[in-house]
Amino acid sequence: MISEDIKKEYEELKNNIEKYNYYYYVLNNPLISDVDYDKLFKKLITLEKKYPELKTPDSPSFRVGGKILKQFNTVPHTVPMLSLDNTYNEKEIIEFDERIKKLLNLKNVEYTCELKIDGISISLRYENGILVQGITRGNGVNGDDVTENIKTIRSIPLRLKEPVTIEVRGEVFMPKKEFLRINEERENEGLNVFANPRNATAGTIKLLDTSEVSKRHLDSFIYYILEPEKHNIKTQIDALTYLEKLGFKVNKETKLSKNIYEVIEYWKYWTENKNKLEYDVDGTVIKVNNFEYQKKLGNTARSPRWAIAFKFPAEQAITKIKDIIFQVGSTGIITPVAIFEPVFLEGTTVQRASLHNFDYIKERDIRINDYVKIEKAGGIIPQIVTVLTEKRTGNESPIEEPTKCPVCGGQVGKINPSEIAIRCLNPLCKAKLKRNLEVWVSRDAMNIQGLGPKLIDRIVEAKLVEKVSDLYKLDHFKLASLGHGIGPKMISKILKQIEDSKKRGLDKVLYALGIPNVGKKLAKDLAEKFNTIDNLTNAEYDELISIDGIGSDIAQQIYDFFKNEKVKKIINELKELGVVLTYHSNEKEGMFKNMLICVTGELEKMTRGQFKEFIENNGGTFKDSVTKKLNFLVVGKNAGSKLEKAKKFGIPILTEKEFYKKYNI
């Protein structure tokens, strides 16, 4: 029997965790630090393991996944998920308005204007406030039951704030930042990259391993209620307000327009400003606001008469491939890169684009001197949309796979036959070392200021560093031997930064080492679990796979990495050179304990990265954005909009000097 105290503790934990999820992922207003959140979550997991009968369908533990699905069942939609008619110009949107007014016999109609999120449509069913089913659009009549994957999306509530039975619809999407991170990881691993965030979302939601879905941090906006009259809702604007009240994430950029001309102004504004958003949009959706009017207008066989997608004009450019160069990554993967005749696209001049791998080139028959149409995936990454074969003159030449490494001239090949990527197989290749060093010195790793890519190139070319541990053997004499552009002051600063980096701790070292598939979070999880590098080096496969978020493939890669003799040698050298290889948690007493602190403008004494590290090393939490929960905002030169927002919220404001004086820094 489970005691009432345990049951009560479990319910409180569950409710608190979901409350913190809601404030973090929906309101972007965190209430507690990541450390405190992790403590609560671990406590919940411990209780569920000890008392499995406690676990309910709305448990936050579903967020991390872990279930392996055999397949997705096809289920019918309650009401068909219709597609929208669309237009790209003002003339047709005015004609749409005229049709609506004529059918309703009205002189004017109000519309809601919503951003058209470029993701995948989803339908969510709740019974008595509990999520029971998530269904993809499918063919509009039937969709796939992806409930287990939907549960990993933290902006989608597992339990509503009211115990209502309701079905809602919305869009699941991948934020641009996450899209860039995943594609970078895939390219580094020699995998095919996603063409755009929408494709990445569609591929993610159909994964059978729910823990992998959880790692990709999908997000959502909900915008539609089936049978709104059951909830006494009469307009789309009211429906959005009610959805927000229930705990759903609703897009804040929605606007009620009094007439079609305000609709056009909304569309024009977002045509110009869409790239400022953190997610991909491809237009706006215009809906008759009044549900009674929607009912009168009805639907055609494929789309509602009361709504239309007002799409943004496609931004593409035509250019010519002048050349192909080959880049070598930290794991030896050789990536072909197209060099274009410069062309202006979405605010920047584009001169190159990754072609990812040689299968990608073969599938699209891309050649040197081809004319190609390009666009920016997710509004960021230049990519080739199509090859204009009709423009070929016969002077085009195929792109050949390299027979040797373009940097060191070493042997190239594939680690296994199923791999897509071609790699340099020389373990001492300079290019691999340079990329490794760039990761090692980066802010998220050992944070060594002053060692940029150009200086790393010079150091490697001069053979001052032949492996990462050699960084800690640099001295004034060696750096001075580089000659031009590096004087005594600069050398002293770099050596101090290198010396300071020895104390970063095990989690930073693990991320810096470039272990396959080990990012910042997993590096920290490994450091917390094993505490010392020796414990991790000696860990068995079964110990690794027992960690949340580590599947069989990643566990094997970590295990193999630390059994590599070259890795062991580097780790031993790092130890001898005084690099700290134990974990020191930021969860400690400090002058900023339990405080949320943000900064705006340029600081004189510290870089933003150094300021963040200083706050966290003294028990505080550094925030990138201003929220009502901030303890104070530190203001440097040329302060931005954060200052006005802080004033509006009544948040205490300190100048840089006031901050140093107050805390005796």
Task: Judge whether 36 is annotated as a binding position.
Answer: yes
Residue 332 CA to residue 239 CA, distance in Å, equals 53
Residue 588 CA to residue 576 CA, distance in Å, equals 28
Q: Are 114 and 284 in contact (CB under 8 A)?
A: yes
Please list the residues that pair with 145 across neighbouring strands: 135
The DSSP H or E segment spanning 550 is none
Helix axes 34-50, 4-21, angle to 10 degrees: 140
Task: Judge whether 365 is annotated as a binding position.
Answer: no
Task: Judge whether 598 is annotated as a binding position.
Answer: no
The DSSP H or E segment spanning 545 is helix 541-545
DSSP 8-state class, residue 289: S
> Which residue do the tokens 């929408």 mark?
198
Residue 370 CA to residue 373 CA, distance in Å, equals 10
> Which residue do the tokens 């036959």 mark?
417
* 394: phi then psi, degrees, rounded to nearest 5: 100, -10
Q: Are 331 and 432 in contact (CB under 8 A)?
A: yes
78 closest CA partner among 140, 130, 129: 140
Residue 430 bears catalytic tag: no
Task: Judge whether 83 is annotated as a binding position.
Answer: yes
Q: Which long-range contacts (CB under 8 A, 24 or more apart) does 474-477 make?
A: 474/498
Residue 189 CA to residue 165 CA, distance in Å, equals 44
Runs of H (alpha helix) within 421-475: 430-441, 453-461
Terminal Cα distance for the chain, rounded: 55
Task: Judge whether 113 is annotated as a binding position.
Answer: no
Given the residues 116, 376, 434, 524, the one annotated as active site: 116
Neighbours of 334 (CB within 10 A): 22
Sort residue 198 into left (φ over 0), alpha (ψ -120 to 50) or beta: alpha
Task: Judge whether 34 is annotated as a binding position.
Answer: yes
Pairing of strands 596-600, 621-623: parallel
The DSSP H or E segment spanning 499 is helix 488-501
370 closest CA partner among 317, 336, 316, 320: 320
Angle at 25 between CA 23 and CA 28, to 5 degrees: 60
Please list the residues that pair with 219 across neighbouring strands: 173
Task: Judge whether 287 is annotated as a binding position.
Answer: yes
Residue 92 CA to residue 100 CA, distance in Å, equals 12
3-state secondary structure 9-27: HHHHHHHHHHHHHHHHHHC
Task: Judge whether 608 is annotated as a binding position.
Answer: no
650: helix, strand or coil? coil
Residues in Cβ contact with 362 at an 8 Å cutoff, skipping those fewer than 6 apart: none
Binding site members = 34-38, 83-84, 114, 137, 171, 287, 311, 405, 408, 424, 429
Binding site members for NAD(+) = 34-38, 83-84, 114, 137, 171, 287, 311
Catalytic residue set? 116
Binding site members for Zn(2+) = 405, 408, 424, 429
